[in-house]
Amino acid sequence: DQQVKQNSPSLSVQEGRISILNCDYTNSMFDYFLWYKKYPAEGPTFLISISSIKDKNEDGRFTVFLNKSAKHLSLHIVPSQPGDSAVYFCAATYSGAGSYQLTFGKGTKLSVIP
């Protein structure tokens, strides 16, 4: 049973437009969510996170929204740039476990077209 789901394997967006990457989770115990970004031939790197006590967190062009009732989160990138082309992994965990016990989604490959 997949507890963190990224249902879109890929997404293409024009440069300058908004990219929206979606993630759903099934485990109600999860209360902390992260996005990792991965370029080819590199390991994943942390991008942005959100705690369940918030419904939005911003960091520059990146914003993560959390809808707890729907068990859904999304990553918005505005404006999208070609350098944002990468695979994005959604991850979830719960209080106390933190980075020690991350459950990852399958990833969404974002392509930003110049």
Partner 1 sequence: EAQVTQNPRYLITVTGKKLTVTCSQNMNHEYMSWYRQDPGLGLRQIYYSMNVEVTDKGDVPEGYKVSRKEKRNFPLILESPSPNQTSLYFCASTGSPNEKLFFGSGTQLSVL
Cβ atoms within 10 Å of 4's Cβ, excluding its own: 22
Find the shortest distance in angstroms from Cβ 35 to partner 1: 11
Tokens of 103: 């459950």
The answer for residues whose C-beta is within 8 angstroms of residue 30's C-beta and 6 or more apart is 3, 4, 52, 92, 93, 94, 103
22 vs 76: CA distance, rounded Å: 9
Q: Which of residues 17-56 bind partner 1 (CB under 8 A)?
A: 34, 41-46, 49
Assigned token pair, 88: 């994005």
For partner 1 (CB under 8 A), the number of binding residues is 21
The reply on whether position 100 binds partner 1 by CB under 8 A is: yes
For the bound state, the minimum distance from the C-beta of residue 16 to partner 1, rounded and expressed in Å, comes to 29
Q: Between 53 and 92, how does the x/- string for binding to partner 1 read (CB under 8 A)?
A: ------------------------------------x---
Q: What's the min distance (Å) between Cβ of 45 and partner 1?
A: 7
